[in-house]
Structure 1
Amino acid sequence: MAGLDLRALFGSNDRQLSADEAFTNRQGQWQTVAAALTEHLRHIAAPGFNVEDVEAPRRNVLVFYGVGGIGKSTLSRKLEAALAKTEQRPAQWGEPTWPDRPSILPVRIDLSRSVGTDFERVILTIRLALAELGRPLPAFDVALRRYWEHQHPGEPLEEYLRRGGLAARFGKALPQQMQSALSDVAQALLLPGTVGSVVGQVTGSLVRALRDRRQTVRALAGCTRLADLLEAEPDLDSLSYYPHLVAWELAQLPADEKIVPVILLDTFEDTGDRTHRDFERLLQRVVWLMPNAFFIVTGRSRLQWADEGIQGQLDWTGPAAWPGLAAHDNPVPRPSSGAALGRQILIGDFSREDCENYLTRRLTRDGQPLISEDLRSRIAGTLSDLTPEERHVLRAIALFDAFDLDLATRAAGLTHQAPALRLVERPFVLENPFGLWRYHLHARIRSMLRTVQDPTDDRWSPDDWAAAAERAFTALGRQWAAGSGRPLLVGCLRQGLPLARDFPLDLSWLTDAAFAYVSDSIWEPLVQPTHTGQAAGVHTAADALAELLNALARRQHEHRSRTVQRLSAVIDTGQLPDELHEMAVYYRAKAHRDLGRSEDSRHGMQYVADRGGRLAPRARRGLAHLARLAGDFPTALATADTLSWDGRHHRVRGDIWWPHGDMHQAAAAYETARTEAEEHGIAGERATSQAQRAFALAFMSPDQAADEIELAEQLLTGLVLRVTSATVRIAALIRDAGTTQDIEDRAELLRTEIGLAGVTVAEPILELALCFHYAVLGADHSVSASITRLNDLTRSGDYAYYVDIAHFMADLSLPADAPSRAQWLDGERPTRQRWRALVTTRRDRLHTAL
């Protein structure tokens, strides 16, 4: 807007002038969009453009950023309408002149926290918009169908779309197109008709056909990364790479059906902050992997993707990757500037005086201000036309991200809901009928109430704000205590933690909520810290609790050594009360164990166990695990006998029995542990116990193990448990031992993922699974190599008895200098016999099958 006069814009005969046009140069912004989109269309039409090139720089994103409330969302909606329908584009904007114009498909996605858009919804929105093509996108649709059935077992996609409002917005064509894609692929593979709806069998057959380069799938064989994506674990991380398949499908469309999506990502600031970029990382992948789509981002801050300093936080960073996003902002680029066009546009930089000047002097009709003094007064102060009680409620709801009538009334300290009922009818209170709480305040109004000096006579003092925050905090606690369900717990934490941190308040119900949060092992992201990291801004217990829960949530997405650093920083602040201090120590001890630092882990577990708090049973279980790691099975079993449900006593026993080769007893213990977890409603423990049961049965009964592995995968849906997920995949390797030719490739891929996650505890057991495979095959040389790797992996002394087990499998004598001094419960000989019997039984079974 700086450097451009609004005279031309407001010199039009168009009498549909709206107030928000006074603050923003829509014509200049449209010219910027038209110029950037023209350049994009030329780029993707050039002979050298390749949609599968994942290394070329990206110029397919345009950013409009500025302060809240300046009209960025309005701009996003206007651009969507102008790109969708020519008649909705103001005449003064002009006709775009892009070359060989294909069909432009605008897709607007609101990322605001109040709407509740998650990454799944982003992907579904893009695909639903493309449903207007009237044809399936087979590569993407098969992958998405596999993902959906894995992550949402028993939940039809149609019902999800209807409940979330997407079906009403886009129609109901997607499920039919996905089923059509699946059936077409099944037909191409000559699969029976009854298999056409079984996504697992179709994708498995498709991968093999792609690997074998069969002619029947030549239409999909051109997508070079399709087989890899279909083989990858169908989790959220894999989903973020599926847009590559959408881009490839769009590139295959006939010339007369070509379509270019223009994806408008609004309220981008709600995807995270400069420290927590998990959602932003997923969205960046969408932009990078869809180079033939054009993205228009609107938010409060410029994108930092071209900054060198964030390398490692996102997948692609630096000016070489994003040449248009480098820090050379051009607030009003000229449409003719071509490739040099700046792609980060600052809007809304009028000062308060500038606004008044335009409103009173420049925007006139017949010598009088176009916007009256009364209307100008309303723009400057939203509170002026509200009753005292409504103003009281308005200030109170400014404390919430989202609210309902009960929260609004209680936070205001009123005994009746009438003022809140009147207030939610105002245009600055927005409504989301699908949200956890139905209402939220317009971001600009909320920011003004929290930060700008209140000019009214009944303005609140700091003490008034603190009292309202206490009431709001208490009201959230009441709702959590009276309700149930994980969404309510997480929602109350996300709103309660900032209140306790900002005002500052006693933790009160947050302590119990924190323990409830960690009990399920789901690890949704919570509040964003207000500082830059390493607990530097931790001054209160609420600060420390927010840091603690964020560290626990992020540990499933980063190396365990980073988790240790985060937790140590929180512990060192000394701000956590005793119970939560023990929580931090316990989870740091778990991370130490995953890293193979047994002595550090033992010290932390003993500390928590000795204090007898809520986590003491888990800490005693941790000590039993550490004894087992050292091969001290009598101590481990004796400790297990002292544990109860809280200490996961049955799972601990299963962990003791399987190293002895007693898979019957181990599987039974794990089944009992799973049943107990179901009775207590602990999703994470249920999945972990089932994964261990599948692992034990994979050695003994491959057929039964197949069903158990499938159940474990279903129980992991919605959970982020890296070690447990690795256990399930190792169980699949053991199930297939001696049969398939790709076990080593699968093991190598899993080994890489384990290393990246820092869960070194899974490396020895993966090697043991390979050793079982080699022993079944009778591959003595491979067994010896595997034993050598096991020796290296267990050099610290933990799991050294795996070397013994490897010798037992292959019927080899233990060397005199064997590292293990395992104390087997019934002696070495029975243990050796059980392991050798597992190998010979598998070998006999395979020979019989031949």
Structure 2
Amino acid sequence: MARVNLRAAFMSGLSSTVTAQQVFTNRVDEVAAFNRSVESLCRTLDEAEVSPVVDRGQGRRNVLTLYGVGGIGKTTLSQELERRLLADAAAEGRDDVVAVRVDLSEDGACDIENLLMRLRAGLGQLGSRWQAFDLALASYWVRAHPGETLQDFLDSSPALRRASRSVGLGDQIAESVRQVDPAGLGGLAGLAHRAALATYRAVRDRVREGRLLAHCELFAELVEAEADYETLSYFPYLLAWDLDHLPRRGRPARRPTVCVFLDTFEVVNGRADRTVERLIQRCVYLMPNVLFVITGRNRIDWADAAVGGELDFTGPQCWPHLHFSNDTVEPRQHLVGYLSESDADSYLREALVRDREPAMAEEVRRRIIAGGQGLPLYLDLSVSHFAALLARGGQPSATDFGGSFTAVATRSIRDLPRKERDLVRTAALTDRVGAELLRAGQPGVPDGSVARFLRRPFLMHDDAYALPYSLHAALRHAIVEADRTLPDGWSDRDRTEVAARLLAWLGERLGPSAGRVAAANALESALRLAATYGVFEDWMARATQRLVEAGQWSDLGAGLTVERAATPECRALVAAIRGVQLRRTGRAAEAVELLSGAGEGVRRGSATAQLVQIHLAHALRNHGDYTAAAEIYRVLVGGEFDAAARYWLCDFEYLNGRFGAALGPLREQRSHGPEAEGERLRLIGHIWRVNARFDEATASYTEAIDLARREGLAAAEAKALANLAQTACWSGAAEPVSDAASRARDLLDLVPNPVELVKIRSAEAVALAVAGDAGAAAEAVEGTRRLADGIGYRGGHNLADVAQILLGVLGGDHDGARRTRAELEARTRRSGGNTYWVPIVTSWIDGVPTAAEHDPGIEWVDGPAASLGRWAEVAVRRSTDTGPGVGRDGRGDEAS
């Protein structure tokens, strides 16, 4: 409320003696509740025998919730509480009081990485030493974001950039790392991933040796855990631990006071999927020495044991102050009500003043109070209307006021010049606007009108955003409703045409060089426009694919409601996003069902139709239906996602033993980026390897390794090294296998990928079998199976079967080898891929002629005799060293 009234008189051109005052209608109960909450938490922490940070079983008493309907003044109340907290601290000369504000409706604010960095930046005001958190973060970052600098991330969004630069956050974290590893700042400074790996290993090794933060429980577990969001969501515990160990200041020494204001919480707890809320709740629970002030439209239900399946920490034992029956003990939940008549009158008396007296006559105030029923936003708009009437030289009367909220919004629109009326209608279509976006929506409006409009008091401004202006959500809705009754109001067609221009501008602004954050922000705004106003552009499908490929799929379209006006393309795009989310979370069957009908009504061959189809193909592939997936990839060749379709078709040909059909196109393909080129080189290597052309395979994998190293692609290098080990293992020389496996495991510490660990272990099993160490080989085979079972990787058993068959043949157990071959054959036939392994192992058991007859559908690169002959030599070489087993003709010696 206050920000609107502070600017009202000045921006309306008043030349009278009326002045605008900054007014906060004193919500006595809520302010007192906040003060008591701060005191109560401090007392609870001081009196605890064991810190609740360490004793994670203690109930949490660190949440003050202020909830109520939209327009009631929750955000203003939250901002005033923050202002008073810091003003009181300054008056007392305290420098150990910190406030962190996060509006969860901001772009990216619900992302756990962004939220944690905002919290860390805020706490950085208390000092630069946050060793437990900073070291764990550095260990996480270099694995989760190989090649991406932390500073680039800190600069990626305006709000985060402003918070981090205010304390030099990047330098603070770098200094924490420097104390452990003076030479290895690669993960933060963006050097080669080898330097990043050195940083992580330095931290990890000191942790394992017990020389680093051994007294911080669970620090070691968090450093060693996989670098994913699940792990990261427990890092607030480390922030709380560091905060608990900060030196106390003042006389007497006091613990720091930290308040985190989470505004617009309905964005989180208004969703059907509560994944984001679970991560944020985990953050609140793990920081019991911080007061969280939550403002939103809904009461939080964390003390309800019935939600235990959706959230981690639920029930009255976890949140003893948040249950319905608590109406006395702070901090607790408060319904923020409408202003009383006396509070509303006080506000109107003080908002506009003439000669120290209220500018509004009593009858005007009574009329406004009767119409507004204590809704602060209603009072704000009425004050703005009063100021506008004065600016035009009129004398406002009671008849100019009152009526419904929509009626007040109608008057607010009428107060504006015609061109600005079109601008406010444009601003009401989307969540955030700026001068350029408004010009795109209203190309005929002069710059001067845009500039004057952006100074209007009902617009909220925050320069932390690229589009810094916004209307209150309730006002946006009211403006759209009110506009329908105005003589010059827009029709639905008018809104659609303007929304289309806004959508086009978002796409043009994005451009090919825009970063992922800009792409995500533009797409979120575009999705809301498309879902509401029946507009759509193909760039949205391309942006979606770009973000999915970059791994930014989890929050796309979160909380989006698709209206009846939405086009089939919009519905299909939202379904494609949901299909990706289902597939990436292990629900491939659901993804197939959803995507199978998602393209209805969409123009055949459009970017959106192709987007749906390629993700349907990926879902089918994940579900084990390679054939149906390949049929879709064939249709997509030559289209929007041509390169991806061609690559996966080659992969399909390879899996089914049509090696020549895969190799030819792969040699001709030209990849668009280093990641895709590395995949192409590796697939070529796979083809050479299963044809026993080991030198060519080694060359292809080595090229992929060199490319990945040059480009800083740790994950790609780890994959290629695992493949190199899978190739070297057939030679009989242990050293190349050991070297490649060791290098791959080092990188997999940096970028965990359990599938590659299965491949490495299977390669070691083969190498041990070829070397004649049967006991170690058998143990490695079982290890391969355990790893495969642990991650649900069925293909890992194929690799284990191959190693086990070789071990049986070399050991003379041909019957056992045949039984394993039967299992291998059944498994590969069911999956529709990797069937070439059956003739390969048959060449060891029954010889090359039988192997060639076993599966004539395999199209070996140089024919079955040559390719299978090379495979037979693997066992022949070993049999000549160890005695009976396999003869030189490739046939097994049944007697041995």
Q: CA deviation at 1:411?
A: 0.9
Q: CA deviation at 1:221?
A: 1.7
Q: Deviations for 1:561-601, whole angstroms, at most 9, x for unmatched residues?
A: 44334424535x55574543443233223223223x23xx4
Task: Provide the rounded CA distance (Å) in 1 between the counterparts of 2:879 and 2:456.
Answer: 73
Find the residue that maps to 2:258 and give its secondary structure. strand
Q: Pairwise mapping of residues 259-298 of structure 1 onto structure 2 (< 5 A)?
A: 259-271=256-268, 274-298=271-295
Find the residue that maps to 1:570 and give its secondary structure. coil
Structure 2 CA distance for partners of 1:663 and 1:244, relative to 1, 3 Å: farther
Find the residue that maps to 1:375 and give its secondary structure. helix
Tell me which residue corresponds to 1:108. Answer: 101
Q: Quick one: which of 517, 525, 530 aligns to 1:495?
A: 525
Tell me which residue corresponds to 2:499. Answer: 469
Structure 2 CA distance for partners of 1:651 and 1:159, relative to 1, 3 Å: closer
- The reply to whether residue 375 of structure 1 matches residue 415 of structure 2 is no
Q: Pairwise mapping of residues 306-317 of structure 1 onto structure 2 (< 5 A)?
A: 306=303, 313-317=310-314
Task: Provide the rounded CA distance (Å) in 2 between the counterparts of 1:69 and 1:423.
Answer: 22
Tell me if structure 2 keeps the 8 A contact 1:631–1:823: yes
Q: Percent identity?
A: 26
Letter in 2 for 1:625: D
Q: Pairwise mapping of residues 113-512 of structure 1 onto structure 2 (< 5 A)?
A: 113=106, 118-134=111-127, 136-151=129-144, 157=150, 161=154, 164=158, 169=163, 171-172=166-167, 174-185=169-180, 194=183, 200-201=197-198, 203-211=200-208, 214=210, 216-217=211-212, 220-253=213-246, 256=253, 258-271=255-268, 274-306=271-303, 313-317=310-314, 321-322=318-319, 324-325=321-322, 328=324, 334=327, 336-337=328-329, 343-349=332-338, 368=362, 375=383, 377=385, 380-381=408-409, 382-414=412-444, 416-433=446-463, 435-452=465-482, 457-480=487-510, 484-505=514-535, 507=537, 509-511=539-541
Q: Deviations for 1:649-694, whole angstroms, at most 9, x for unmatched residues?
A: 6554233234445555345446778999999x9x9xx888655423
Find the residue that maps to 1:224 and give its secondary structure. coil
Structure 2 CA distance for partners of 1:108 and 1:619, relative to 1, 3 Å: closer
The structure with the larger Rg is: 2
Tell me if structure 1 keeps the 8 A contact 2:132–2:242: yes
- The reply to whether residue 796 of structure 1 matches residue 865 of structure 2 is no
Letter in 2 for 1:182: V
Structure 2 CA distance for partners of 1:576 and 1:769, relative to 1, 3 Å: farther
Tell me if structure 2 keeps the 8 A contact 1:305–1:322: yes
Tell me which residue corresponds to 1:32. Answer: 33
Q: CA deviation at 1:390?
A: 1.3
Q: Deviations for 1:741-760, whole angstroms, at most 9, x for unmatched residues?
A: x99999899758744xxxx4
Q: CA deviation at 1:59?
A: 4.1
Structure 2 CA distance for partners of 1:787 and 1:387, relative to 1, 3 Å: farther
Q: Quick one: which of 724, 744, 751 aligns to 1:697?
A: 724
Structure 2 CA distance for partners of 1:495 and 1:252, relative to 1, 3 Å: closer
Tell me which residue corresponds to 1:65. Answer: 67
Tell me which residue corresponds to 1:847. Answer: none
Task: Provide the rounded CA distance (Å) in 2 between the counterparts of 1:60 and 1:818.
Answer: 71
Task: Provide the rounded CA distance (Å) in 2 between the counterparts of 1:749 and 1:18.
Answer: 71
Gaps of 5+ in 1: 1-15, 90-94, 96-100, 187-192, 717-723, 842-850
Tell me which residue corresponds to 1:548. Answer: 576
Structure 2 CA distance for partners of 1:201 and 1:124, relative to 1, 3 Å: same
Q: Pairwise mapping of residues 728-739 of structure 1 onto structure 2 (< 5 A)?
A: none
Tell me if structure 1 keeps the 8 A contact 2:269–2:300: no
Tell me if structure 2 keeps the 8 A contact 1:264–1:295: yes
Tell me which residue corresponds to 1:720. Answer: none
Task: Provide the rounded CA distance (Å) in 2 between the counterparts of 1:248 and 1:769.
Answer: 50
Find the residue that maps to 1:221 and give its secondary structure. coil
Tell me which residue corresponds to 2:377. Answer: none
- The reply to whether residue 831 of structure 1 matches residue 820 of structure 2 is no
Find the residue that maps to 2:584 and give its secondary structure. coil
Q: CA deviation at 1:248?
A: 2.6
Q: Deviations for 1:355-386, whole angstroms, at most 9, x for unmatched residues?
A: 97887799998994796976274594443543
Q: CA deviation at 1:153?
A: 5.6
Tell me if structure 1 keeps the 8 A contact 2:708–2:717: no
Q: CA deviation at 1:414?
A: 1.6
Q: Deviations for 1:36-65, whole angstroms, at most 9, x for unmatched residues?
A: 445544544422554245555544323222
Q: Deviations for 1:175-208, whole angstroms, at most 9, x for unmatched residues?
A: 454345435446xxxxxx6569966446535544
Tell me if structure 2 keeps the 8 A contact 1:142–1:181: yes
Find the residue that maps to 1:796 and give its secondary structure. helix
Number of matched pairs: 767
Q: Pairwise mapping of residues 510-659 of structure 1 onto structure 2 (< 5 A)?
A: 510-511=540-541, 513-514=543-544, 522-523=552-553, 525-528=555-558, 530-531=560-561, 540-553=568-581, 555-568=583-596, 570-571=598-599, 577-579=604-606, 580-595=608-623, 597-598=624-625, 601-610=626-635, 612=637, 614=639, 615=641, 618-619=644-645, 621-631=647-657, 633=659, 636-637=662-663, 650-659=681-690
Letter in 1 for 2:218: R
Structure 2 CA distance for partners of 1:565 and 1:504, relative to 1, 3 Å: same
Task: Provide the rounded CA distance (Å) in 2 between the counterparts of 1:277 and 1:475.
Answer: 33
Structure 2 CA distance for partners of 1:667 and 1:203, relative to 1, 3 Å: same
TM-score for both structures, normalised by structure 2? 0.69
Tell me which residue corresponds to 1:75. Answer: 77
Q: CA deviation at 1:28?
A: 0.9
Letter in 1 for 2:72: I
Letter in 2 for 1:609: R
Find the residue that maps to 1:51 and give its secondary structure. coil
Task: Provide the rounded CA distance (Å) in 2 between the counterparts of 1:393 and 1:838.
Answer: 81
Q: CA deviation at 1:632?
A: 5.3
Tell me if structure 2 keeps the 8 A contact 1:107–1:263: yes
Q: CA deviation at 1:496?
A: 2.2
Q: Deviations for 1:726-782, whole angstroms, at most 9, x for unmatched residues?
A: 455557768999999x99999899758744xxxx4665478689989999xx9x9xx
Q: CA deviation at 1:396?
A: 0.7
Structure 2 CA distance for partners of 1:764 and 1:527, relative to 1, 3 Å: same
Task: Provide the rounded CA distance (Å) in 1 between the counterparts of 2:880 and 2:41.
Answer: 63
Structure 2 CA distance for partners of 1:276 and 1:656, relative to 1, 3 Å: farther
Letter in 2 for 1:401: D
Tell me which residue corresponds to 1:12. Answer: none
Task: Provide the rounded CA distance (Å) in 2 between the counterparts of 1:792 and 1:537.
Answer: 51
Letter in 2 for 1:560: A
Q: CA deviation at 1:239?
A: 2.3
Q: CA deviation at 1:154?
A: 6.3
Task: Provide the rounded CA distance (Å) in 1 between the counterparts of 2:219 and 2:278.
Answer: 21
Gaps of 5+ in 2: 1-18, 187-194, 369-381, 387-404, 729-735, 769-775, 882-896
Find the residue that maps to 1:274 and give its secondary structure. coil
Tell me which residue corresponds to 1:665. Answer: 696
Tell me if structure 2 keeps the 8 A contact 1:568–1:588: yes
Structure 2 CA distance for partners of 1:512 and 1:823, relative to 1, 3 Å: closer
Find the residue that maps to 2:830 and give its secondary structure. coil
Tell me which residue corresponds to 1:46. Answer: 48
Task: Provide the rounded CA distance (Å) in 2 between the counterparts of 1:307 and 1:819.
Answer: 66
Structure 2 CA distance for partners of 1:33 and 1:201, relative to 1, 3 Å: same
> After alignment, is 637-646 or 118-127 more displaced?
637-646
Tell me which residue corresponds to 1:11. Answer: none
